[in-house]
Structure 1
Amino acid sequence: MTEKVANAVGGPLYPIREVSRLTGVNSVTLRAWERRYGLIQPRRTPKGHRLYAREDIERVERILQWLNRGVPVSQVGELLDQASGEAETTREDNSRESGAEDMAPEHDWEGQQLEVINAVAEFNTNRLENLFTRSMGLYPVNTAIARLWQPVVERLENTWADHATPMAQRCFLESFLRTRLGLRLYHGNHENAEPRLLMSYLPGGCGALWQLLLAFTASSAGFYITLFDGPVPVGELIEAAGKKDARTIVLSGAMEADIEDLHRQLADASYQGMLPIRVAGSITRQWRETDDAHLSALDNDPARAIAQLRLATARHG
């Protein structure tokens, strides 16, 4: 049921939790947009709780449109206030003070990617924490993943592929993201009851980083996530999915593999369990699509992958 409180003139007012559910922007980010940039100005209850009118929600949606075009959050307010709403979105010469201290400006995604990569190379947890908190605090999860964390994973995987022993850096980044994801899933699963996903790795594959990015995105989109943080036989995953009432199994992978053999193995398991299996991660670049409704690859972009899952679960109940 939608939470709302009627205001004095009859229009609905929504608490921050409901605005977060409606827009997909988490409460921390909504507060940051208000405090740091004045992008939204919610009303307050006598006890100080934020209440948002319908026009505030529409403003949040317009903010998202600009962010999705690549406009830095520090410049969105100016664009929203322009009457025509058709301002240029790529004016690089209008750099503003972003309060980034010694970090790259918040709109400099390339710079931030290099910051993350350097922090991983130096095993600098504090630096990585600052970059993670800042990106997830100022931007919706989809934007932070698409503009910063997915490109970082792709670049690192390409680098690691040229080295014999990249395990230390990989494990460091996996461990970092895993700890941040754990708390998010804990709170998300208390708020999200449906739809349910069961997530794990492809047999014999290495897909932890892709799985973590996808899990962040799915939880933010309202999915209930059961995460197996390690390789599990597909038959056991089918059994576990039944007990958890999961509608879909998502298996992540990022390795070279015998795709034909893997396809046969997963197709057999999917039909036996009568449960859809979706493949995610960089391995999808090798995937050969068929007409098999029980087994298919998700888009390589986490946000589009989750949109595909949302549509599929809506179709099949």
Structure 2
Amino acid sequence: MTYKAMDSSAAPLYPIREVSRLTGVNSVTLRAWERRYGLIRPQRTPKGHRLYGRDDIERVERILQWLNRGVPVSQVRELIDQPETVETPAPQMGDWASQRQHLIQAVEAFDSGRLEVLFNQSLALYPVSLCIAELWQPVISQLEERWGDQFGATLQRRLLESFLRTRIGTRIYHANQLSNAGEVLVARLPEDSSGFWAMLMGLAASAAGYRVHLMDGELPLSEFPLAAERLGVTALLLASGHAERSDVIRRQLPRLAEQSRAPVCLVGPIARIRVGDFENTAVAVLGEDMSQALSRLRAMLDADG
């Protein structure tokens, strides 16, 4: 392996928490990349704590570039260890399609044990934003298209809903204990009874460093201004996979945006479906892609000062 961690006498070294903050890759994933695949090799303190140099951080960023191009994590080391003078081959097709199929099969088979394995495995090896974009968003969209009036669809939906609520809620709870960033309230809109898109947004916001209040049930839109005030949140993130009722879109959400101390933002498929309905309102349409939505949110909050 040609890669070597930078000597501590030559440049500053960073603890794993700081590297996670700088790169957006959580500590569990960084450890998995080191132990399972030898992708990074941090230095160690006498007590065994990991320390990373600037070259380690740059290497993590290169790993992310390959993962974002669809290269499976198991193939990344071969690509990034090539000498720079050697032309890097085009990446092979990633294994996301296979993972999506396995996940759908687990839901349709009511296999909660398999769901557990797939959920933990994906989030241990890949950044949360990539897992959501390449695995969970496409799977939920595909399942929602399949379900319709299919026999057993309600049971499948409730199984997945219960599973994600528990796992994502647990991750958010633990992440909130460590976060010093701004707080956001994430909730579903009335017609999105399963809350899938709110849960994914909550997971993405948590991974991005926000302290997240994830509303488990439906909250009347009229009470969101009170929630924003009492919880002290910097933004209200409202999610839905549906078009929602006309009165919600044309009257209630614009009124909520005028009354709330925190910006009212739409995320999930509704942001694509209804993008043209909020042009002359105070409602911020952040988009369907969770990562892009968070980038727009951050820019909006920075601009507001």
Match 1:123 to one of 104, 110, 113: 110
Q: Confirm or deny that 1:56 pairs with 2:56.
A: yes
Question: What residue is the counterpart of 1:154 in the other structure?
Answer: 141
Name the CA distance, whole Å, in 1 between partners of 2:78 and 2:288: 33
1:91 and 2:92 are equivalent in the alignment:
yes
Paired position in structure 2 for 1:211? 198
CA contact (8 A) 2:267 2:285 kept: yes
Cα deviation for residue 206 of structure 1 reads: 2.8
Correspondence 1:245 to 2:232: yes
CA positional deviation for 1:162: 4.8
Aligned residues: 298
Q: Distance in 1 between matches of 2:250 and 2:300?
A: 20
Give the conservation status (yes or no) of the 8 Å contact 2:228–2:260: no
Contact (CA 8 Å) 2:33, 2:40: kept in 1 or not?
yes
Per the normalisation by structure 1, the TM-score is 0.88
Query: What is the CA-CA distance between 1:116 and the residue it aligns to?
Result: 0.8
Identical counterparts, % of pairs: 47
Q: CA deviation at 1:230?
A: 0.9
Structure 1 distance, partners of 2:214, 2:285, is: 19
The answer on 1:309 being equivalent to 2:297 is yes
Offset at residue 165 of structure 1 (A): 6.5
Q: Please say if 1:273 is aligned against 2:273.
A: no
CA distance in 2, matches of 1:26, 1:17: 8
Instruction: Quote the residue 2:119 is aligned against.
Output: 132
What's the secondary structure of 2:52's corresponding residue?
A: strand
Q: Mind listing any 5+ residue stretches in structure 2 that lack a counterpart?
A: 1-5
Pairs within 5 Å for 1:3-152:
8-9=8-9, 11-84=11-84, 86-91=87-92, 107-152=94-139
Structure 1 residues 166-315: aligned runs within 5 Å: 166-206=153-193, 208-259=195-246, 261-287=248-274, 288-292=276-280, 294-315=282-303
Distance in 2 (alpha carbons) for counterparts of 1:306 and 1:86: 35
* Contact preservation (8 Å) 1:206, 1:254: no
* CA distance in structure 1 between the partners assigned to 2:278 and 2:249 by the alignment: 14
The alignment yields a C-alpha RMSD, in angstroms, of 2.0
Change (3 A) 1:56 1:186: same
Question: Closer, same or farther in 2 for the Cα pair 1:293/1:52, shift >3 Å?
Answer: farther
After superposing the two structures, state which structure 1 stretch, 164-173 or 134-143, moved more: 164-173
Structure 1 unmatched runs, 5+:
1-5, 93-106
Please tell me whether the aligned partners of residues 275 and 294 of structure 1 are also in contact (alpha carbons under 8 angstroms).
Answer: no
